[in-house]
Amino acid sequence: MLSGAASRPVTVAAMRGLFVTFEGIDRSGKTTQARLLADALGDRAVAVREPGGTPVGEQVRSLLKDPEVEIGAHAEALLFAAARAELVSRVIRPALADGRVVVSDRFLDSSLAYQGEARGLGVDEVLEVNRWATEGLLPDVTIYLAIDPAAAVARAGEGDRIEGEGTALQERVARAYQHLAEAEPGRWHRIDASRPPDEVHADVVAVVEAARAAAAAA
């Protein structure tokens, strides 16, 4: 289905220790684009997904995605942070120290957008919990895959507990991402995700190459 985009030759120059995250509402194309970027980077990439990527993280993921499990907003935020703490200490920090490019399908900003703003827990409060969980690690580059919630919902894909809450939540999350991106324009890169995957991917590669060049010049 996406084989055309995946097989498209893309050259990404060698780079050292860069942390790239993908953010966006459900079905904006994060998983698709994270995979395309990791494929383009080859051996230098370490691909992770949130929540997950460690034994504890994968169990937390199953719990959070289970439609039968009712979880309060505070517990939900802490479970995401717990999974993230494991991922950072066991996978992301070692990979960055090894000079790899870590490509993460969601990270801390998802908690700020969903739990902090859309669920109303407070962006500053959720940020504080997460800064503690990650011991202050932030992405070098965050790619925001921007798409209209109505267009995203029309895409195929399986729903889970959070996705099942429908477009009202997605509208709030989209606004939250917009605020976060505006507040930190140096780290966030907004890409129009309503276009075909290969076009989105080309923009992603351009952003990552520019970040690599900036890091090399620093």
Ligand X SMILES: Nc1ncnc2c1ncn2[C@@H]1O[C@H](COP(=O)(O)OP(=O)(O)O)[C@@H](O)[C@H]1O
Do the beta carbons of residue 25 and residue 177 sit within 8 Å? yes
Q: Is residue 159 a contact residue for Mg ion (CB under 5 A)?
A: no
Q: How far is the CB of 121 from ligand X (least distance, A)?
A: 22
Q: Which does 126 bind (CB under 5 to 8 A by kind): ligand X, Mg ion, none?
A: none
Residues 12-71 that bind ligand X (CB under 6 A): 24, 26-32
DSSP for 28-55, written as a single string? SSHHHHHHHHHHHHGGGEEEEESS-SSH
- Please, which residues have CB within 8 angstroms of residue 142's CB and are 6 or more apart in sequence? 20, 21, 22, 23, 107, 109, 181, 184, 187, 188, 189
Q: How many residues bind Mg ion (CB under 5 A)?
A: 2
Closest CB to Mg ion among residues 55, 157: 157
Among 6, 12, 17, 31, binds Mg ion (CB under 5 A): 31
Q: How far is the CB of 99 from ligand X (least distance, A)?
A: 27
Q: Is residue 196 a contact residue for ligand X (CB under 6 A)?
A: yes
Cα separation values, 216 from 37, 128, 199, 203, Å: 20, 30, 26, 20
Which residues contact ligand X by CB under 6 A? 1, 24, 26-32, 155-157, 196-197, 200
